Amino acid sequence: MKKLYGVLIFSLMIMAIASCASQAASVTPPEAQKPAEVVLPPDILEHKGTALGANVPAWVMAYIESGSQGVEKLADYKGKFVVILDSEGASRQGTQVAMDNMDAPVQIARYLSTRVQAKFAGAQVGDRDELTEYFENVVKTVSEATFSGFMTGPDWWVYLQYYKPGAKSKTEVDRRIYRVIKLYSIDQSVLQTQLDKYLKDAAGAVAKTPEKQRAIDAVQNAFYEGF
């Protein structure tokens, strides 16, 4: 079971850390390629359900595997929009306090702005340059907005042991940290009403030609598909 938890938490670590990779245009000769450095996944030493012999809940596992949108696919969260916040620290109490003191509305708005930005990045539009100002206005407006209707859900904590880069055995411990994640949810219809207002406000602040207006209308009409 500990090994299973280690794999799951390793997936969570990979999802929580943003990465950027680039690939050279030319192919590196095989003899010049360096072998990939082996990274041992962290082990979970303890978690919220350990003392009671409880398993990691379904929403935590869904988040580990597929992020907040994975949680939204669970029956318990059907018709909901889910935001999961997290904090980490050296002590369980301190990490929990940090989570409790987190400005949830601000963090929720920031998360929503990243999903809006991702949605715009994949939008099928003719001339993206014409909509750059509109996209930027919406993202900025959402990031600074205060959304109402989010309900506080459950939280979970884990105590993780990380290993040094290139460690050959689990005796080469790098650090141990506590990680707390907390779930917030809102009815999709309630959130959509608020987002619609921000989409329209941002559109009203942009000088538009008939062509640009049609492009904005098309983006707004398809905005919630896959959002």
User: Per-residue confidence of the chain (227 residues) as pLDDT tens digits?
Assistant: 444 444 444 454 444 443 444 443 344 444 455 656 677 888 888 999 999 999 889 998 888 778 899 999 999 999 999 999 989 999 999 999 999 999 999 999 999 999 898 888 876 666 667 788 888 888 999 999 999 999 999 999 989 898 999 888 899 899 999 989 999 999 999 999 999 998 888 888 887 778 788 888 888 887 888 77
Give dist(CA 25, CA 27) in Å, integer: 7
Structural domain that includes position 163: 2-16+37-221
Global confidence as pTM: 0.70
Q: Are 224 and 123 in contact (CB under 8 A)?
A: no
Give dist(CA 47, CA 53) in Å, integer: 10
Query: What's residue 66's pLDDT?
Result: 85
Helix (H, G, I), strand (E, B) or coil at 85: strand
In this structure, is residue 123 part of a structural domain? yes
Give dist(CA 51, CA 20) in Å, integer: 39
Pairing of strands 151-163, 80-89: unpaired
In this structure, is residue 22 part of a structural domain? no
Number of domains in the chain: 1
Query: What's residue 33's pLDDT?
Result: 56
Give dist(CA 181, CA 43) in Å, integer: 17
Query: What's residue 3's pLDDT?
Result: 45
Query: What's residue 158's pLDDT?
Result: 87
In this structure, is residue 179 part of a structural domain? yes
Give 3-state DSSP helix, strand, coil % of the chain, rounded to 5: 45, 20, 35
In this structure, is residue 78 part of a structural domain? yes
In this structure, is residue 23 part of a structural domain? no
Query: What's residue 125's pLDDT?
Result: 64
Instruction: Give the closest residue to 122 by CA, choosing from 222, 16, 200.
Output: 222
Query: What's residue 128's pLDDT?
Result: 67
Give dist(CA 74, CA 48) in Å, integer: 21
How many angstroms separate the Cα of 139 from the Cα of each of 98, 111, 121? 27, 11, 11
Query: What's residue 21's pLDDT?
Result: 40
Phi, then psi, of 159 in degrees rounded to 5: -110, 115
Query: What's residue 19's pLDDT?
Result: 40
Longest dimension (CA), the chain: 66
Query: What's residue 215's pLDDT?
Result: 81
